[in-house]
């Protein structure tokens, strides 16, 4: 489970910003939280991020997914002289940006807390550290700092160290190198970080959704639940028709129009050999059932099924799912129903978490005040994050919604006289 993620000097976040799933002591609804000795009041199953357009919501979520990519790919997936992906805050006149910093606190199997982070530039990683708490005592497994006379420090790490240290390039992480060398103590930690979160999948808006043949949402045992969800969403869908799918001969040329070469190669490598197409079955006036051709299904229906597939997978595995703009083409009531799948212990028994961004003010009714993050951008272009529970006078969800509607919180755009501007411009064009 994720406890918190911090980022500094990444994209629009010049100053340190924290994304926290650690609950406050506040009595609020929904009550559901996960127990951990490292969080006295529990760990939250959901965090929603609100903010105006261009406030930094996407940057915050993307920074978290980028963190996992650093850990997963820095050693095996990066060439020796390849620069480290580096996207600092750039709205100043300085010729050299400070280093970026990312770190994460999470709880692994056995309620063991891990704190891991690194500081980097395009030229390489300048600092990297890993701490562990099995009880109240902290152990420093390793610390790497190239500004020190002795860059490497291994006070509590067992197993091979020198060979892995020598293999670790400046543009790779020691933790990633250790996993490639099957280090007994560090490989499970690497796996816990890399597999802790799942990103929303790409949604194709032409044709019906394609899924791996072993997709959890298509499993026979999940079929009744899927059909209940589709019925509750009032889609008119009574069943699904799952068919084997073969990529057409012109598949790669079409993808080359959409993806860069590197992204296309990663897509092809990740795509399972067996793919299936899901068609939606409807019932006509005479009671007969039929499946519509893909082009006749709505965008909202396709997005909803992909969202359900993402949710089903992480709910089963107890992972964290990140979704940017949860409410895209989905009805607000359906968005609320998806969130409730996480905040209800009956449907979320395995410790799954959800991180999403949205503009939907109605979803504030579905979350605790400490499950709401507000992002805004100041006059210098720097993004800031604050939990709704930190604001005075916001004790309940009703307080939160009222304050948000009145513009007393961050994450609400300050609109100028758009109508007057457009009326003037339209008038000039006559």
Give the ranges where 120-181 is alpha helix by DSSP (H). 162-167, 174-180
Determine phi and psi for 13, rounding to 5 degrees: -100, 90
Domain assignment present for 284? yes
* Averaged pLDDT for residues 338-358: 93
Q: How far is CA 365 from the centre of its chain?
A: 22
- Per the domain annotation, does 430 fall within a domain? no
Same domain for 219 and 87, yes or no, is no
As a whole number, mean pLDDT of residues 137-147 equals: 95
**Could you tell me the pTM of the whole model?**
0.85
- 148 and 218 share one domain: no
Assess whether pLDDT exceeds 60 at residue 380. yes
Residue that wins the pLDDT comparison between 292 and 9:
9
Are 23 and 147 found together in one domain?
A: yes
User: How far is 138 from 141, CA to CA, in rounded Å?
Assistant: 9
| DSSP E strand stretches across 260-368 | 275-283, 289-291, 320-323, 353-358
% helix, strand, coil for the chain, step of 5? 30, 25, 40
Pair 188, 62 in one domain: yes
The residue-averaged pLDDT of 291-309 equals: 78
Segment among 133-142, 152-161, 290-299 with least mean pLDDT: 290-299
**DSSP label at 414?**
-
User: Do 198 and 319 touch, CB atoms closer than 8 A?
Assistant: yes
Placement of tokens 């996480």 in the chain:
342
Residue 292 pLDDT exceeds 80: no
Residues 6+ away with beta carbon under 8 Å from 126: 99, 119, 120, 145, 146, 147
Same domain? For 104 and 214 the reply is: no
Q: Are residues 47 and 73 in the same domain?
A: yes
* DSSP-derived secondary structure letter, 245: E
- Return the ∠ at Cα 290 (arms to 201 and 215), rounded to 5°: 25
Span 159-194, pLDDT tens digits: 999 999 999 999 999 999 999 999 999 999 999 999
Do 39 and 100 lie in a common domain? yes
Phi, psi of 322 (to 5 degrees): -110, 130
Comparing 212 with 369, the larger pLDDT belongs to 369
Q: In residues, how long is the chain?
A: 430
What pLDDT score does 97 carry?
A: 73
Crossing angle of the two packed helices 223-232 and 299-317, in degrees rounded to 10 = 140
Instruction: Single out the residue in 316, 332, 347 at which a domain terminates.
Output: 316
- When pLDDT is averaged across residues 291-315 and rounded to a whole number, the result is 80
Last residue of one domain, picked from the residues 316, 336, 367: 316
Report whether 350 contacts 322 (CB < 8 A).
Answer: no
Number of neighbouring beta carbons within 10 Å of residue 124: 15
User: Is residue 245's pLDDT more than 80?
Assistant: no
Cβ contact 38:114 at 8 Å = no
User: Who's near 312: CB < 8 A, 6+ residues apart?
Assistant: 216, 217, 222, 226
DSSP calls for 310-333:
HHHHHHHHT-EEEESSTTTTS-HH
Residue 379 in any domain: the answer is yes
In sequence order, which residues have a C-beta less than 8 Å from that of residue 264 and are 6 or more positions away?
A: 252, 255, 256
Question: Within 13 Å, how many C-alpha atoms sit on residue 287's CB side?
Answer: 0
Has residue 236 got a pLDDT over 90? Answer: no
| Domain match, 342 and 258 both | no
In a domain? residue 24? yes
Mean pLDDT value of segment 148-158? 95
Q: Which of 249-253, 278-282, 285-289, 351-355 has the highest mean pLDDT?
A: 351-355
pLDDT tens by residue, 73-131: 999 889 999 999 999 988 776 656 789 999 999 999 889 999 999 999 999 999 999 99
Looking at the domain assignment, is residue 357 inside a domain? yes
327 and 407 housed in the same domain: yes
Residues 212 and 119 in one domain: no
Query: Is residue 429 in a domain?
Result: no
Question: Which helix (H) or strand (E) element contains residue 120?
Answer: strand 112-121
* 24 and 61 assigned to the same domain: yes
Helices 187-194 and 57-73, axial angle in degrees (round to 10): 150
Into how many domains does the chain fold? 2
Does 308 lie in the same domain as 345?
no
- Is the pLDDT at 229 greater than 80? The verdict is no
pLDDT of residue 418: 47
User: Which range, 75-84, 120-129, 210-219, 301-310, has the best average confidence (pLDDT)?
Assistant: 120-129
Tokens coding 30: 């929904």
pLDDT at 231: 77
Assign residue 94 the CATH number of its domain.
Answer: 3.40.50
Domain boundary among 258, 293, 316: 316
pLDDT per residue over 246-280, tens digit each? Answer: 666 666 666 667 666 666 666 655 555 577 888 88
Q: Give 211's pLDDT tier (boundaries 50, 70, 90).
A: confident
Q: Is 33 part of a structural domain of the chain?
A: yes
Task: State pLDDT tens for residues 406-426.
Answer: 666 665 655 555 455 555 455
What SS3 class is residue 323? strand
Tell whether 69 is covered by a domain: yes
Mean pLDDT of the chain: 85
Q: 4-8, 28-32, 44-48, 220-224: lowest mean pLDDT where?
A: 220-224
Q: What is the pLDDT of residue 168?
A: 96
Q: Give the number of other CB atoms < 10 A from CB of residue 261.
A: 8
Task: Determine the structural domain holding residue 81 and report its residue range.
Answer: 1-195+319-424
pLDDT of residue 389: 85
Contact predicate 296/288, CB 8 Å:
no
């Amino acid at each position: 489970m994720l406890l918190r993620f911090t980022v500094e000097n990444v994209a629009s976040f010049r100053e340190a910003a924290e994304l926290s799933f650690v609950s406050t002591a506040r009595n609020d609804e929904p009550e559901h939280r996960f127990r951990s000795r490292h969080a006295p009041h529990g760990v939250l199953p959901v965090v929603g991020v609100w903010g105006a357009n261009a406030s930094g919501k996407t940057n915050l979520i993307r920074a978290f997914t980028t963190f996992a990519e650093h850990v997963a790919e820095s050693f095996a997936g990066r060439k020796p002289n390849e620069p480290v992906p580096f996207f600092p805050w750039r709205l100043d006149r300085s010729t050299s940006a400070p280093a970026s910093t990312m770190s994460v606190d999470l709880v692994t199997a056995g309620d063991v807390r891990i704190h891991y982070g690194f500081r980097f530039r395009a030229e390489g990683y300048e600092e990297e550290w890993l701490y562990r708490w099995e009880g109240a005592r902290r152990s420093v497994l390793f610390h790497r700092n190239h500004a020190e006379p002795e860059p490497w420090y291994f006070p509590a790490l067992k197993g091979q160290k020198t060979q892995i240290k020598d293999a670790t390039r400046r543009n790779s992480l020691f933790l990633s190198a250790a996993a490639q060398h099957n280090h007994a103590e560090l490989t499970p930690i690497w796996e816990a970080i890399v597999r802790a979160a799942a990103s929303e999948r790409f949604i194709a808006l032409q044709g019906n959704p394609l899924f791996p043949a072993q997709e959890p949402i298509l499993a026979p045992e999940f079929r009744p639940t899927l059909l209940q969800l589709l019925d509750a969403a009032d889609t008119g869908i009574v069943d699904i028709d799952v068919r084997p799918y073969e990529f057409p001969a012109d598949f790669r040329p079409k993808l080359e129009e959409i993806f860069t070469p590197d992204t296309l190669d990663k897509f092809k490598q990740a795509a399972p050999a067996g793919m299936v197409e899901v068609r939606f079955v409807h019932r006509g006036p005479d009671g007969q059932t039929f499946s519509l051709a893909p082009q006749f299904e709505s965008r909202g229906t396709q997005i909803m099924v992909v969202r359900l597939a993402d949710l089903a997978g992480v709910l089963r595995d107890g992972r964290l799912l990140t979704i940017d703009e949860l409410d895209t083409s989905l009805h607000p009531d359906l968005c609320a129903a998806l969130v409730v799948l996480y905040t209800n212990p009956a449907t979320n028994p395995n410790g799954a978490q959800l991180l999403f961004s949205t503009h939907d003010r109605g979803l504030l009714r579905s979350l605790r005040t400490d499950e709401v993050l507000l992002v805004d951008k100041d006059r210098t272009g720097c993004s800031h994050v604050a939990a709704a529970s930190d604001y005075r006078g916001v004790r309940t969800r009703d307080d939160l919604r009222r304050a948000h509607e009145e513009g007393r919180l961050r994450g609400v755009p300050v609109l100028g006289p758009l109508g007057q501007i457009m009326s003037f411009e339209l008038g000039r064009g006559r």
